[in-house]
Amino acid sequence: MDKKKVLVYLEENDLSDIELVKEENDYLAVKFFYDFDIDEIKAAEAYADDEAGKERNEIWLEDFYLPYLAEMAVDNVGEVIEEIMAETGIKSQFVSYEMEEGDDFSEFIAIFYEDESQINIEDVLDKLEV
């Protein structure tokens, strides 16, 4: 597996604070952030305003604004991961962490592994204690 190619690809696709958390013979575990741009934040605010009204309360935040951003981040990171898999022939799984009020980013951990490996991200995360 070409570790450098994976890390460079993540960086070239505007993911930030990329950190190799663990490298084993059969996988790489990488932590990174998806940073929202102003247009994405405005789109999430407009969606939440349309669905919950303009009063920025807990329902506006928890039921509409944060889920909109979280879904956007998962979709965009998923596309990047799929491109890495297509270009390198490796497999990947990823998880995102729950966002909190005031976050303008979404945190992820991904594992990358060869196709024949039997890797489960939950097992890796348990091993890493994250």
pLDDT in tens, 68-109: 999 999 999 999 999 999 999 999 999 999 999 999 999 999
Contact at 8 Å (CB) between 51 and 64?
yes
The confidence score (pLDDT) of residue 127 equals 85
- Sorted by where each starts, the structural domains of the chain and their CATH numbers stand as 3-128 (3.30.70)
Q: What's the rounded mean pLDDT across residues 18-46?
A: 96
Q: How many Å apart are CA 74 and CA 85, to the nearest integer?
A: 16
**% of the chain with per-residue pLDDT over 70:** 100
pLDDT for 116 equals: 78
Q: Other C-beta atoms within 10 Å of 34: how many?
A: 22
Whole-structure pTM value: 0.91
Strands 105-113 and 27-35: antiparallel
pLDDT at 129: 78
Q: Summarize the confidence of residues 1-24 as an average pLDDT.
A: 93
**Burial class, 93, CB count within 10 angstroms (exposed 0-12 / middle 13-18 / buried 19+):** middle
